[in-house]
Chains A and B, each alone.
Chain A
Amino acid sequence: AQTVTQSQPEMSVQEAETVTLSCTYDTSESDYYLFWYKQPPSRQMILVIRQEAYKQQNATENRFSVNFQKAAKSFSLKISDSQLGDAAMYFCAYRVYNTDKLIFGTGTRLQVFP
């Protein structure tokens, strides 16, 4: 069965600094998608970034980028120039290529200090 593991329950970062959130997953599939979602205190789940497994290039969205290591089954999120508004729970999620079902990790709570 596919599983997603986020081993860091909490992380903190100083404003303007860089932080990396870890995610590993277990699957026997070769085609799949990976996502990072952000859940601020408002509890709205917001898509941050997505990565297709067949793409070797790491996805980037403004200050957010991923380090996708397919062989190691690792998918970390790097937040550069952290802002106070980045404080939230971050969830890593996995989707098998030809299905719609998402499997979520347990989340990492990110605190940003001024």
Chain B
Amino acid sequence: DAGVIQSPRHEVTEMGQEVTLRCKPISGHNSLFWYRQTMMRGLELLIYFNNNVPIDDSGMPEDRFSAKMPNASFSTLKIQPSEPRDSAVYFCASSPEGYEQYFGPGTRLTVT
């Protein structure tokens, strides 16, 4: 099993640009999570899906952030427009229902 796949691994962009992060969960897992990790705020849950349906998006910082899961094998997290304070490592994780979460390698986003 390839594990959770995230792309890109690194992203550098200028303020105001649109950024799209991608995630492919482990096959058969029906829950998918997006996290953000910063030194100041630690690891924060942004949103999670169950069976492709968003269940809890209370952690999404503001309207500039949006997430979609069009099918069981793909999800995106989009930031439009990006700001320097969005710089962080973004993790995607998946889990079979009721079990532990398996994390992807993360995307390091730098907004200049």
Contact = CB atoms under 8 A, between A and B. Distances in A.
A7 to B, nearest CB: 14
Interface residues on B, range: 20 to 34
Ranked nearest first, the 4 interchain pairs of A and B with the lowest CB-CB distance are A45-B103, A104-B43, A100-B31, A106-B42
30 contacts: A33-B100, A37-B103, A42-B105, A43-B89, A43-B105, A43-B106, A44-B103, A45-B103, A45-B106, A46-B103, A47-B100, A47-B102, A50-B100, A91-B43, A100-B31, A100-B33, A100-B48, A100-B50, A100-B55, A100-B95, A100-B97, A100-B98, A101-B48, A101-B56, A102-B33, A102-B101, A104-B42, A106-B42, A107-B42, A107-B43
B23 interface: no
Nearest to A46: B103
Given A43-B89, A45-B91, A50-B100, 15 more contacts: A33-B100, A35-B100, A37-B103, A43-B106, A47-B100, A47-B102, A100-B50, A100-B95, A101-B45, A101-B56, A102-B33, A102-B45, A104-B42, A104-B43, A107-B43
Q: Give the secondary structure class of B's interface.
A: strand
Interface in B47-89: 48, 50, 55-56, 89
B93 interface: yes
Nearest to A103: B45
Contacts of A43: 89, 105-106, 108
A99 B91 CA distance: 19
Contacts of B108: 43
Contacts of A37: 103
A47 B4 CA distance: 14
Nearest to A35: B100
Nearest to A47: B100
A29 B17 CA distance: 43
